[in-house]
Amino acid sequence: MPFNPLMFSENSLARRLFERQAAIFFLFLCLSVATFIFGGCTEVPVTGRSQIDIVPDYQLLAMSEQEYRQFLRKHRLCKDPAKVAMVKRVGRRISQAVERFLYETGQSQRIRGYRWEFNLVCGKEINAFCMPGGKVVVYSGLLPIAKNDNGLAVVLGHEIGHAVANHAAERMSQALLLQLGGDALSMLTGSYSPATRRLLMQLYGLGANVGVLLPYSRTQEYEADHLGLIFMAMAGYDPRGALAFWKRMMAAARNRPRPPEFLSTHPSDRARLEKIVEYLPEALSYYRRYLEEHGMLKRRKR
């Protein structure tokens, strides 16, 4: 075959391009792994569970803020002053107790940049959620089941638990690492797979729905229950009320063709109640401390 300089140079150009893409990919993969090992591994307050977090906080908080505003614009806010006040009162009381706890235990960086907000949205849905940065929504359909401040504290404690444990960032980090790992295996393509590109686009500002991008795992749900009980207790709400609340929630589920949204993404009824019973003694110790500090503990008669 005669020597063709053009063909030769095109081939080497293609190879160089391929190598450059591969190098960039590997650099990104190494950075991710290094971040995971050296800086992206954090510990959840109270439970002490290690988790990965390689999604930059500022990016996540900015996306969350945008999503939250958009959500509030698209949904009707509840106007009933008593109900709105109830949601804001309970939310503020728990978030303040949590902030104090994190400050006293030197873990304030967990919620750096958080600006708590508690909004009540009109709707029959039995649901509540919290976006990163402390952006909480409660649907008015949940209030009859919450029944009172203590019942609502179970819900808001759980949601604040998701936020403080940074579960959304953890899910995104897991998904990102898994995807990158998968791509490393298909390196022969020399480029990101469409799925990774999609995920990266979602992660980096093209309108990811932060609140519902990825469902929480069972581990995270139990952890949110665990943290929720402790957080409500720190704020002076009786954590034993959680058992009654979840029983009301489960009864509501039996009367509906579809399970309530708040329940459907969560662990099964019996498993959840058993776990709550398991977490209660620890939560009660926080509750007793609150009562003591506020002179509300009944002294035993001698």
Please identify every residue annotated as catalytic: 159
Name which of 222 and 237 has its Cβ closer to Zn ion: 222
Per-residue burial over 233-268, b if 16 or more Cβ lie within 10 Å, else e, is bbbbbbbbbbeebbebbbebbeeeeebbbbbeebbe
- The least CB distance from residue 260 to Zn ion, in Å, is 12
Q: Total residues at the site for Zn ion (CB under 5 A)?
A: 1
**Beta bridge pairs of residue 129:** 137
Stretch binding Zn ion (CB under 5 A), from 74-82, 188-196, 222-230, 289-297: 222-230
- The least CB distance from residue 156 to Zn ion, in Å, is 12
C-alpha separations of 92 from 86, 89, 110 in Å = 10, 5, 18
Instruction: List Cβ neighbours of 17 (8 Å cut-off, separation of 6 or more).
Output: none
**Beta bridge pairs of residue 51:** 42
Stretch binding Zn ion (CB under 5 A), from 26-34, 146-154, 220-228, 274-282: 220-228
138 touches Zn ion (CB under 5 A): no
Which one of residues 224, 242, 263, 283 is an interface residue with Zn ion (CB under 5 A)?
224
* Residue nearest Zn ion (C-beta atom): 224
For the chain, give the number of residues.
302
Task: Please tell me what DSSP assigns to residue 298.
Answer: P
Stretch binding Zn ion (CB under 5 A), from 21-29, 115-123, 217-225, 279-287: 217-225
Q: Quickly count: other Cβ atoms within 10 Å of residue 190's Cβ.
A: 15
168 touches Zn ion (CB under 5 A): no
Residues lying near Zn ion in the complex (CB under 5 A): 224
